[in-house]
Structure 1
Amino acid sequence: MESAGTGAAGPTPGGVMGSGTRLRLEPYEVALLRGGPRAAVTVAVLALYLRGAAEAGRPGTVRVSGEPVGAGRALSPLAEAVLAELRQPVGVRELSGRPGVRRAVADIRRGLVAAGLLRSLPARRTRAGRRTLDALHAGHPLPRDRKALSADEGLMAVALHGDPALRLVAGRFALRAGLIARVEVADKGLLRHSPRSEYSCGGVSD
């Protein structure tokens, strides 16, 4: 993690102002702040996929596919923890509960608490956390075309916008890997008139 309190090396695409200090958040930090542990793990899985290290396994699972491309750029601790669990195909729900992954998520959460963006008990966003997400949404609207997105921009889009961005950035992989659910609509008219649901905030809600 970056200067929200923590430490993996690499670019920091999510810079926001807070209490006179510029906080720079990585996509997996933003995802945890917005949507809880599963959102953060989803971003880590996507990061591995975009770097060629993960692929869809059996329907609804993810597995390792090779060494990450871009050897000069370190993986985040969360992505490292996820990668270690992918020797056998595993679903994202089970993956989120693996001890190593849970520890990595807990480390991210502690950094966000130290930065004043999350309360520890109960796990809720603070006012500063809500302002941070508002600023990030203003600076990173939901993209309309994935062709213009870099990998980092795609990760930030998914961190901020959840399933709609995931369908745009890597929809086929996300469906096959069980990162998003297939929606079957018996009556197409329902699709036209149904309200758009928001991405679940997990245990980190307003």
Structure 2
Amino acid sequence: MPMEMWWFIGAAGVLLGLAAALLRPGPARAIAPGPQSVALLRGGRRAAVTVALVALQQRGAVTTGRTGTVRTDGRAPVGVRDPLQLAVHTSLQRQIGVRVVASRPRVQRALDALRDELASAGLLRRDGRWRSARALLYAVPLTITAGLLVTPMTAPNTPLQFAVSAVPVAVAAALGCLRRRTRAAGRLLASLRAEHPLGDRSGDGVLSDGVLMSVALYGDTALRRHVAHFARDGGLLGRGSRDTGFHVHHDATGGGASCGA
């Protein structure tokens, strides 16, 4: 193989090594995450906001507005000290949908703080490292393509060039499919599901902290079972409360579709 192509393959290998180092999560430590943290791990930002809204609805501080929207009922959330719940409540100055609530700057800051706590516990890959790794992975196929364009393709060497140059591209694609959620987070969610199986209770009413955890772990299914009217009329059901985890496409903010989805 011409030496020029080896340089490009070597450069792609360096990019892969740097990306792999950035994607390596920190050491996991034992924590007892609350329902909103669990929802953020399982379904991303909107899932965490959904749990916060259900918690506020339990306290009588939030109710449904026009179809597909939520609003405050005019009273302050007594006893609420959670930053995300306070941010969500203050963002409901008018009837708005869940997606709009999740996009409010104060809610975004509260979600960022929650995400940073989970990253410190080794359950999520940190935002800056994640972004940098993504950029390096995108650069790998570009590097290989540049090498193929500038290297003379003599007939005897062409099959070998393509075979070897495909390796770093394949590795970059595999690393690109890594979730932002770590394996430790997956084990934590599995253990929490074992501890908190989906209950049989249905209908709206005064709910317990266990139901908040159920909504955090099971998304739409738990919403329909425990707060059916509030979830349906408030627009809480649907995209953002499913078990999408932290994947490739949306991960500057937390959730997203899986690689190739």
Q: TM-score, normalised on structure 1?
A: 0.75
How far did residue 205 of structure 1 move?
6.0
1:43 matched residue in structure 2: 51
Choose from 86, 97, 102 the match for 1:80: 86
CA distance in 1, matches of 2:201, 2:208: 13
How far did residue 87 of structure 1 move?
2.0
1:58 matched residue in structure 2: 66
2:109 matched residue in structure 1: 103
Alpha carbons of 1:162 and 1:76: their partners in 2 closer, same or farther (altered >3 Å)?
A: same
Choose from 95, 100, 108 the match for 1:94: 100
1:128 matched residue in structure 2: 184
Alpha carbons of 1:44 and 1:205: their partners in 2 closer, same or farther (altered >3 Å)?
A: farther
How far did residue 128 of structure 1 move?
1.0
How far did residue 37 of structure 1 move?
0.2
Alpha carbons of 1:34 and 1:179: their partners in 2 closer, same or farther (altered >3 Å)?
A: same
Specify the SS of the correspondent of 1:178.
coil
Choose from 195, 206, 214 the match for 1:139: 195
Q: Which amino acid aligns with 2:73?
A: S
How far did residue 83 of structure 1 move?
0.1
1:169 matched residue in structure 2: 226
Larger RCO: 1 or 2 (CA < 8 Å, sep 6+): 2
Contiguous gaps of at least 5 residues in structure 2:
1-26, 132-178, 246-254
1:30 matched residue in structure 2: 38
2:256 matched residue in structure 1: 203
Kindly report which structure 2 residues correspond to 1:151-190, keeping only aligned pairs within 5 A, or say none.
151-181=208-238
Q: What is the CA deviation profile of residues 19-67 of structure 1, one whole-angstrom value per residue up to 9, with x for unaligned ones?
A: 6x64111100000011000000000011110110000001110000143
CA distance in 1, matches of 2:199, 2:228: 14
Contiguous gaps of at least 5 residues in structure 1:
1-17, 182-197
Q: What is the CA deviation profile of residues 77-118 of structure 1, one whole-angstrom value per residue up to 9, with x for unaligned ones?
A: 100000001120010011111101011000000000000011
Bigger radius of gyration:
2
How far did residue 179 of structure 1 move?
0.4
Q: Which has the higher strand share?
A: 1
How far did residue 76 of structure 1 move?
1.2
Specify the SS of the correspondent of 1:118.
coil
Q: Which has the higher helix share?
A: 2
Identity of aligned residues (%): 46
Kindly report which structure 2 residues correspond to 1:114-125, keeping only aligned pairs within 5 A, or say none.
114-120=120-126, 121=130, 124-125=180-181
CA distance in 2, matches of 1:106, 1:100: 10
CA distance in 1, matches of 2:76, 2:81: 9
CA distance in 2, matches of 1:117, 1:22: 10
Q: TM-score, normalised on structure 2?
A: 0.60
Moved over 2 A (4+): 66-69, 198-206
Specify the SS of the correspondent of 1:63.
strand
Q: Which amino acid aligns with 1:151?
A: S
Instruction: Say what the alpha-carbon RMSD is for the aligned residues.
Output: 2.5
How many equivalent residue pairs? 170
